[in-house]
Amino acid sequence: MKFGVVRFPGTCDDFDARDAALRVDGAEAVLLWHGDHDLQGVDAVIVPGGFSYGDYLRVGAIARFAPVMTEVMEFAREGGTVLGICNGFQILCEAGLLPGALLPNTGRRFIFRQVDLDVDRADTRFTSAVPAGQTSLSIPIKHTTGRYYAPEDQLDALEANGQVLLRYAPGQNPNGSLRDIAGVTNEAGNVFGLMPHPEHAVDPLTGSVDGLTLFTSMAQAVSRV
């Protein structure tokens, strides 16, 4: 199992995501340079958090045109497993790989907060390793632009298709996301984006451990194929 973590100018959580992925048994993880048209044969792609291109113009708007994104889009179209975290989620939305868009938090400010996420589905390639009976994950958020938005009919469709995997626990929605959505997949279920940072929840010493299950799930899904 080999994870690839994309690195844009302005990416900040690249090493964190790589090191989190490396905690999965038997996993390798490499960094993928934004300027290369090359995914180095990885089995899954992570588009990590940070401020690609300074978040200038509009979050994720510039990074989606980076050369490596051509390959990421191709990989996704062919059913490859792609995870977008925070800025990665924003980029995947801008790239059209995920539905909806991320808008400025209703509170306008950057917020760091440890939040509880309700697991809507634990039978997907991103959540299958969530232990049976565990319905909630403790994972931090840190962003200024994390309010998930899609038009009402699209939200209905997302829910009907089971594309919403994670929601902020009741009363904990930190950013005004519609229907408390914290993470959604594309229709095929192979691309997943979320605002919370699972890579910052992989070690009890530095936080919680609940984020690791996402990486483990991805590895299991890839090895099942």
Partner 1 sequence: MKARVLIRPKAGILDPQGVAVEQALPALGFTGVSEVRVGRMVELEIADESQLDQLCQKLLANTLIEDYEIVSVEGAVAP
Partner 2 sequence: MSDTQSVPGVEQAIALGLTRDEYALVIEKLDGREPNEVELAMFSLLWSEHCAYKHSKKLLRTLPTEGDAVFMGPGENAGAVRVGLDPDSDLICAFKVESHNHPSAVEPFQGAATGVGGILRDIFAIGARPVAILDALRFGEPTSERSRYLLDRAVAGIGHYGNSIGVPTIGGEVYFEAPYETNCLVNAMALGLANAGDMIRSAATGVGNPLILFGASTGRDGIGGASVLASAELGDADEDKRPTVQVGDPFEEKKLLECSLELLEKGLLVALQDLGAAGLTSSASEMASKGETGMDIDVAKVPLREPGMAPFEIMVSESQERMLCVCTPDRVEEVIAITDKWLVHGTVIGSVTDTRAMRIFDGDELVGEMPVEALVDDCPLYDLEPVKPSSPLYPAPVATLPGEVSLRDTLLALVGSPNIASRLPLFEQYDPVVQSRTVRRPNTCDAAVLQLPDGSGLGVSIDCNGRRVAADPYRGTIEAALECASNLACAGAKPLGTTNNLNFGNPEKPEIAWQLTEAVRGLGEACRALDAPIVGGNVSLYNQGTDGPIYPTPVVGMVGALPDASKAGVLGFAREGDLWGLAGWNALPSLEASELAKLRGEALPDGLPEFDVDHILATQDAIREAVRSGALSSAHDVAEGGFAVAIAECCLAGGIGAQFLGEPTGEETPREVLDAILFGERPGGFIVSGSEEALEALAERIPLDIFGEVGGDSLDVVVGDETFSVTLDELRTAHAALRPLFP
Which of partner 2, partner 1, none interacts with 132 (beta carbon under 5 to 8 A by kind)? none
Which of partner 1, partner 2, none interacts with 24 (beta carbon under 5 to 8 A by kind)? none
Which of partner 2, partner 1, none interacts with 199 (beta carbon under 5 to 8 A by kind)? partner 2
Which chain residues interact with partner 1 by CB under 8 A? 35, 53-54, 56-58, 61-62, 65-67, 94, 100-101, 103-108, 147, 149-151, 176
197 counts as catalytic: yes
Of 109 and 224, which CB lies nearer to partner 1 in the complex structure?
A: 109
- Residues 210, 201: Cα–Cα separation, whole Å: 6
Of 46 and 184, which CB lies nearer to partner 2 in the complex structure?
A: 46
- The CB-of-37 to partner 2 minimum distance in angstroms stands at 16
The three state secondary structure string of the chain is CEEEEEECCCECCHHHHHHHHHCCCCCEEEEEECCCCCCCCCCEEEECCECHHHHCCCCCCCHHHCHHHHHHHHHHHCCCEEEEECHHHHHHHHCCCCCCEEECCCCCCCEEEEEEEEECCCCCCCCCCCCCCCCEEEEEEEECCCEEECCHHHHHHHHHCCCEEEEECCCCCCCCCHHHEEEEECCCCCEEEECCCHHHCCCCCCCCCCCHHHHHHHHHHHHHC
Which of partner 2, partner 1, none interacts with 118 (beta carbon under 5 to 8 A by kind)? none
- Which member of 34, 143, 197, 200 is catalytic? 197
Contact between 10 and partner 2 per CB under 8 A: yes
86 counts as catalytic: yes
Contact between 16 and partner 2 per CB under 8 A: yes
Of 169 and 178, which CB lies nearer to partner 1 in the complex structure?
A: 178
Active site residues: 86, 197, 199
Footprint of partner 2 (CB under 8 A): 9-13, 15-16, 19-20, 35, 50-51, 53-56, 109-113, 140, 142, 197, 199-200, 203, 205-207
